[in-house]
A and B are shown apart, each in its own frame.
Chain A
């Protein structure tokens, strides 16, 4: 149990390091993939709903503390995203890779939707702008992240197959 927790903490720290160092380098027209949501999704589908909720909350809170955003904004969006992904726990249901991809995409969209909704409420941004933001920024970012997620998803599939044998 403790080993598993330490492993996930290491994953998140690595993701955070990559997110702040490597990801800006590989960004295309300012569109950056979100590795933290990707790791959160993986954790959620592996461990279940409750760990996903708390991990999402504390991860988002850490992001809020160390990035110029509204305090609680990332915490809420990552909580919602983690909760959604945690519903599809591998322990209780079998998810094929294609469905995993679709769920991951929805998790990204949900995360960004909640994030921008908070922005709308707090900053008075109009809903029209929110729609444009989701279309111009969120969707490309989600697709870019999904592209990066192919490698861990394939590795995950390979490990599942190896375990069954």
Chain B
């Protein structure tokens, strides 16, 4: 018996190789059931510490894939959320517009702003309605807070709107409290004023509405409120500065009032007028 130990010690490398190879071959030759049994025994005994380590490794692997999936989900949901927020904001705006349009008896066509004048203080906008929608030149354009401008050019499916802030624009307005009529003017597209006689009673906060005299806007549309009053050089007149109701920087949807100019009914009579220069 002693010679066996001597042999093993003397040829320990060979014996180690033989032992491990035989063990491996024994496991390989086993039936699947037997292999599963051996695997269960090994994982619950000598490989138990490794079992915990491998579980941790698997968790690390899962963390990577889970992290990637969560990032994908997050990107999708963020996009979805921003779309929903956009829809919610649009819904809110449209509801406000709807509430506004119900206050007027005119037929209102809701349209979207599709382009803006690229200048810093943009003076016009393009809307997504044109001839095919029955839009005509000079139709008033309003927002939920008041007058925006008027149609000055009509294309097939688009129209150009001249905004109130265009310095070349002149709008007949009226002080709601005093019924004083004047013309809305601007020199730079930012500061808006009306000229009034010096003795007119004007106060900060007075509401200014359309006068309905220009033939384009009906009477009573909100234009703005008086912000401050300055005395002009002339002793007869003063300038009353207004803060317009519409925020031109954030217009996205507007309404077109299907309203022909008041003078159109009399156009033939205007055209037939003959002025005697004598």
B210 to chain A, nearest CB (A): 68
Residues of A within 8 A of B13 (CB): 49-50, 53, 86
Set of chain A residues within 8 Å of B24, measured between Cβ atoms:
57, 60-61, 72-73, 75-76, 79
Partner of A65, one of B20, B26, B30, B47: B47
Beta-carbon contacts under 8 Å, B8-47 to A: 12-13, 16-17, 20-21, 23-28, 30, 35, 38-39, 42-43, 47
Q: In whole Å, how far is A32's beta carbon from the nearest beta carbon of chain B?
A: 14
Q: How far is A72 from B54 in the complex, measured between Cα atoms in Å?
A: 18
Q: Could you tell me which B residues sit within 8 Å of A by CB distance?
A: 12-13, 16-17, 20-21, 23-28, 30, 35, 38-39, 42-43, 47, 50, 53-54, 57-58, 60-61, 64
Q: Which of A16-24, A104-112, A128-136, A148-156 is found at the contact surface with chain B?
A: A16-24
Q: Would B54 and A66 count as touching, CB distance under 8 A? A: yes
Residues of B within 8 Å of A121, CB to CB, are 28
Q: Is there an interface contact between A53 and B16, defined as CB atoms closer than 8 Å?
A: yes
Give the Cβ gap from A59 to chain B, nearest Cβ, in Å.
10
A118→B21 CA distance, assembly (Å): 12
Give chain B residues whose Cβ lies under 8 Å from the Cβ of A53. 13, 16-17, 20
List 15 additional A-B contacts (Cβ < 8 Å) besides A50-B16, A75-B23, A79-B21.
Answer: A13-B53, A21-B57, A49-B13, A50-B13, A53-B13, A56-B20, A65-B39, A71-B27, A71-B30, A71-B35, A72-B27, A73-B28, A75-B27, A79-B17, A79-B24
Contacts of B64 in A (CB 8 A): 21
Beta-carbon contacts under 8 Å, A66-88 to B = 66, 70-73, 75-76, 79-80, 83, 86
> What is the minimal beta-carbon distance from B250 to any residue of chain A, in angstroms?
47
- Can you name 30 A-B residue pairings with CB atoms under 8 Å? A16-B57, A17-B60, A20-B57, A20-B58, A21-B61, A50-B13, A50-B16, A53-B17, A53-B20, A54-B16, A54-B20, A57-B20, A57-B23, A60-B24, A61-B24, A62-B50, A62-B54, A65-B39, A65-B43, A65-B47, A70-B35, A72-B27, A72-B30, A75-B20, A75-B23, A75-B24, A79-B20, A79-B24, A80-B21, A83-B17
Find chain A residues with CB under 8 A from B28 CB.
70-73, 76, 118, 121-122
Interface residues of A (CB under 8 A from B): 13, 16-17, 20-21, 49-50, 53-54, 56-57, 60-62, 64-66, 70-73, 75-76, 79-80, 83, 86, 118, 121-122
CA distance A64 to B35 in the complex (A): 10
Indicate if the CB atoms of B20 and A21 lie closer than 8 Å.
no
* Residues of A close to B26: CB separation below 8 A: 72
**Closest CB in chain B relative to A24 CB, distance in Å:** 9
Report how far A86 CA is from B12 CA in the complex, Å: 13
Quick one: closest A residue to B36, CB to CB?
Answer: A71
CB <8 Å contact, A72 and B17: no
Determine the distance from Cα of A53 to Cα of B23 in the docked complex, in whole angstroms: 12
Determine the chain B residues whose CB is within 8 A of the CB of A80 once the complex forms. 21
CB-CB under 8 A from B30, the residues of chain A are 71-72
Question: Closest Cβ of chain A: how far from B272's Cβ, in Å?
Answer: 86
